[in-house]
Amino acid sequence: MKLLTADNVTLAFIGLGNMGQRIAQRLLDHGYQLFVYDRDIAKADPLAAQGAVVKKNILELARSADVILSCLTNDEVVRAVYTGTEGVFARARSGTLVLEMSTISPETSRELQRNGAGFGIEVLDVAISGSTPAAEAGILTLLIGGDRELFRAAEPIFQAVARQYFFLGGSGSGTAMKLVVNTLLGVGMQAIAEAVALGEKVGLDRQRLLEVLSKTAVIAPAHMGKLSRVANNDYSPQFPLRLMNKDFQLILNAAADMHLPMPATEAAFYVNAEELAHHKEEDFSAVLRRMEQFAGAADVQAASTAS
């Protein structure tokens, strides 16, 4: 199968949120002819200024491209975009390749692959690991499931947006690996939050604590950049709480299906949900502030009891 280069294929992109817009821009920067669509048409304006062709609806977009990429909010939105009489599968040409990049359940990925096959359309699940700055810089990690030959053909596209990409196996393998990765991401952030709260409670200076912690071997690269932002109480979203919350639910649902207990993940989900109730659009690192607030509430309660 031929390589899918800017010289021989046209691309379409559905979903121009924080990640999708940056990935689409990388594809434009690498010379791909690109059609774009988002329900919020204003999100397409920056890409249109760079040469993307904006489509008014999914019908127009699906008929236009050889390869369709999407980065959407959740399983329900993915199904709505691809299935049904107005969906991508019913409108795209036979032989179209779909690179579905949303964080969804492995079963939804497999369902999508089966549905696409009925229309002569191939689907790879291409899960994304990385933040919005990584997307902008083109240094994402991609986790891919589906047909190996299609994976090889799509490598030029992956190279335009990612520093590294991995083939995991059959359909659903990419999204399954994303759940594994985000388990560590979410639970790791909760562990950091608890450790920092403990350090403050036993009298360590917050700024010095965070500075020294960032120089130890126990902080993963994905969490490293959070510490300097947390030091300034900067919780502006790179990966919003609401998306981490959604991923926790996917993780715990998958674990429940397999009868696998995940007590640490359940605890991290609880704190994430507590913070989400107050600050929906802030970064998932805001669980650190939640733990500091828990610690402060404990001090108040102890003082009240003592009096």
Q: Which residues are catalytic?
A: 178
One-letter-per-residue 3-state SS of the chain: CCCCCCCCCEEEEECCCHHHHHHHHHHHHCCCEEEEECCCHHHHHHHHHCCCEECCCHHHHHCCCCEEEECCCCHHHHHHHHCCCCCHHHHCCCCCEEEECCCCCHHHHHHHHHHHHCCCCEEEEEEEECCHHHHHHCCEEEEEECCHHHHHHCHHHHHHHEEEEEEEECCCHHHHHHHHHHHHHHHHHHHHHHHHHHHHHCCCCHHHHHHHHCCCCCCCHHHHHHHHHHHCCCCCCCCEHHHHHHHHHHHHHHHHHCCCCCHHHHHHHHHHHHHHCCCCCCEHHHHHHHHHHHHHHHHHHHHHHHC
